[in-house]
Structure 1
Amino acid sequence: MAKMDRKTILIVDDIVENIDLLQKLIIVSGHDIHTSCSGQQAIEISQKHQFDLMLIDVRMPEIDGFEAIRRIRESSLNKDTPVLFLVAKTDNYNISRAYTAGGVDIITKPFQAEELLARVNTHLTLQEQKLHLQELVDAKEQFINILAHDLNSPFTTILGFADLLANNLDSYSKEEVKKYLGLILNVSENTHALLNNLLSWVTLKQNRIGFNPQKVSLRSRVDECCLLMRNVASIKDINIAVEVDKRIVVHADVKMLDTILRNLLTNAIKFSTNSKCIKVSASIKQDNCEIIVSDSGIGMTEEMTRNLFKLAAKSVNGTNGETGTGFGLILCDEFVKKHGGTIRVESEPGKGSHFIFTMPCCSSGSAIRSIKTKMMSNYLYW
């Protein structure tokens, strides 16, 4: 069996000795354990933390396990978390009640170590498979929605302006023709970027995407991506400033790194107002390189940042009405994780956003020390 990712488990029992025993038996699997000695405390904990599995004793004073689960289910955070009820082996009445109360299984007391671990691991695996299946279903629905709307709408715009030019070319001035061609070019570039993201995402979900990390000059990739984004940025009179030391070398898949940078730059341009500046910077943090794409645009609320890298997140139009699907940021998240890195966003409404991601650094020790001591001071503007 493949090694299971680290999971979070809640154990609830009013007898401390039972909690201690369960912890000792389960913790060897490497999971994170939260404990509670009462139903009320379990309800409060479940409102703050999302769990992969809950083990709850049925017989507890004041609020028993069944009532605790009923209240926990009222909160969206753990409404679908599987529950294993802890029941005395001779308690036939509560054994039958456990399943009607929403439990997926029972664990009888006194505990048998092998049986306990087998049941816990089985239901953790089933839950993981269930979530993965739901993710695939959501992905399929999102894919169909994009084909039906987000790829159809741009072609309507392109065909509309192309038809105007084809049938009325002689009646338009040179400036008008240039304007319409610019609109066609802009929509075409955005549609092409969306299609590339969509194809990369589908390939990734089918586990068919190649991953070929190598030594890469970060500055060269940033410069290349900024050059590609120059036309899009110029429409809003936006400058892109680069502060990345030329000596920084990262261990990265070039195509994935370029996709991350392009999508973050596109996002920054989309949510910046005209004549603003975007900055790409980098610094060394231990053995990783931290890359930041910053803008001074409209920013986001805390709720928006929490859901930003989720498939279900709703895309918001840009400052010039630019549309999108949110797939670009989802790809960034997937590709950064593929490199063993992390990605996060810091933002406030009206104060812009800072997208921060890490890549493994493969610069020499002396170069890293030198870069840390004296970061490059000159900027390159695109």
Structure 2
Amino acid sequence: MVLVIDDQDANVRLVGQLLSRANYEVVPAMSGREGLELAVASAPDLVLLDMRMPGMTGFEVLEQLRDNPATRDIPVVFLTADNERDSLTRAFAAGAVDYITKPFVSEELLARVRTHLELKQSRDRLARVADERQQVADIVSHDLRNYFANVLFAADMLRDPDLPVETRLRLAESIRTSADSGVLFLQAFLDQQGQQAQGTAVQPLRAGELFEHIIELLQRQAQVKQIMLRIAPASEDIRVCGHRAGTIHVLQNMVSNALKYSPAGSEVSLQATHRGPHGRLSVLDRGPGISPRDRERLFQRYVRLSPQPTQGESSTGLGLALAKQRARTMGGDLWYDDRDGGGSMFTLELPLA
């Protein structure tokens, strides 16, 4: 969308007609004040701004655009009959990205508009990529701090010379579990980054084999709480398409959370089903479940949910926010349902192979 601000009706009509014929959406404004109001109400992709206007000059409009965080980054091109060097220097110093001198050549106007719109689109894409990477980095650093915090806490406890042998063994096991989980988490993140950089293709994956691998990874964590990890019958027959490392570590997160919130001596089930063109890999537990209030925030970053781990475990796996993001990059999704009879059921859905 291009916002054209000029107090001369003929100029606004001429520029609007040229841009409309080139398939640009045009919003006209006949004064600086009107242009500011329109820009704030719905930010345009580019502003064509007359330099000399009564009431509020183009320089005053540009100054207010730059002072408002909502409009600060909108590129502004001056349309002006003034080609004096001092005015142009002032325009660039004020934040204009370009200028076009009236009377203008239509081809020049269209070329400059196209160029600055393409530049803005490129900047917006780079900003989105940077934001996504920062979000991932925040999640990674947050989860790694959890592992280190658990290790440090257990190590400090072990300094007490009067601790019973059973407590020492439990703390040592906690250190080992946290260290193992941290290494697996870091490897998962590195695998994910490598796959994204190389554009790794999805591949057929057998659900039963994935489940067996997850049980092998987390068997020690389950044994500490005397929890049985069980693969439901018929899961062997389901095959899905995904990145192997990414799928394993999403499942690892799901099972780690189930173990963390399940009571000692209970059972966590892994089952594979299909619906339409998708396979569903589910993890079911008998923990406290997720309240309706927590469900709304379940996949958000840095959200503390009401249920507490049954033995004070730290956060494990990729983190639900990163796990859901990873599922979607593979053309799937991750969600939660209440389990019949009580407990939680998290489901990773991927296309069938």
Report the TM-score, using the length of structure 1 for normalisation.
0.58
Contact conserved, 1:305 with 1:345, CA < 8 A, in 2?
A: no
Q: Deviations over 1:136-163 (max 9, x none)?
A: 677778777777x445433324435666
Contact conserved, 2:253 with 2:318, CA < 8 A, in 1?
A: no
The one-letter code sitting in structure 2 at the alignment partner of 1:119 is: H
Q: Partners in 1 of 2:67 and 2:326 — Cα distance?
A: 39
Mark the CA change 1:355 to 1:144 in structure 2 (over 3 Å): closer, same or farther: closer
Residue equivalent to 1:12? 3
1:200 aligns with 2:188: yes
Q: Partners in 1 of 2:42 and 2:250 — Cα distance?
A: 36
Query: Secondary structure at 2:45's aligned position in 1?
Result: strand
Pairing partner for 2:110 from 110, 113, 117: 113
Contact conserved, 2:188 with 2:249, CA < 8 A, in 1?
A: no
Aligned length: 318
1:125 aligns with 2:122: yes
Pairing partner for 1:221 from 210, 216, 222: 210
Residue equivalent to 2:248? 258
Residue equivalent to 2:149? 153
Contact conserved, 2:204 with 2:242, CA < 8 A, in 1?
A: yes
Pairing partner for 1:297 from 268, 290, 295: 290
Q: Partners in 2 of 1:244 and 1:20 — Cα distance?
A: 65
Q: Partners in 2 of 1:354 and 1:79 — Cα distance?
A: 44
Query: Secondary structure at 1:215's aligned position in 2?
Result: strand
Structure 2: 5+ residue runs without aligned partners? 6-11, 30-34
Q: Partners in 2 of 1:79 and 1:305 — Cα distance?
A: 33
Superposed CA RMSD in Å reads 5.2
Q: Partners in 2 of 1:347 and 1:16 — Cα distance?
A: 57
Q: Partners in 2 of 1:20 and 1:354 — Cα distance?
A: 58
Pairing partner for 1:181 from 153, 165, 169: 169
Residue equivalent to 2:32? none
Residue equivalent to 1:367? none
The one-letter code sitting in structure 2 at the alignment partner of 1:211 is: T
Pairing partner for 2:179 from 191, 194, 213: 191
> Considering only CA atoms, is the larger Rg found in Structure 1 or Structure 2?
2
Residue equivalent to 1:336? 327
Contact conserved, 2:48 with 2:76, CA < 8 A, in 1?
A: yes
Residue equivalent to 1:319? 308
Query: Secondary structure at 2:237's aligned position in 1?
Result: coil
Mark the CA change 1:140 to 1:360 in structure 2 (over 3 Å): closer, same or farther: closer
- Could you tell me how far 1:189 is from its partner in structure 2? 2.1
Report the TM-score, using the length of structure 2 for normalisation.
0.62
Structure 1: 5+ residue runs without aligned partners? 1-9, 28-32, 47-52, 363-382
Identity of aligned residues (%): 15
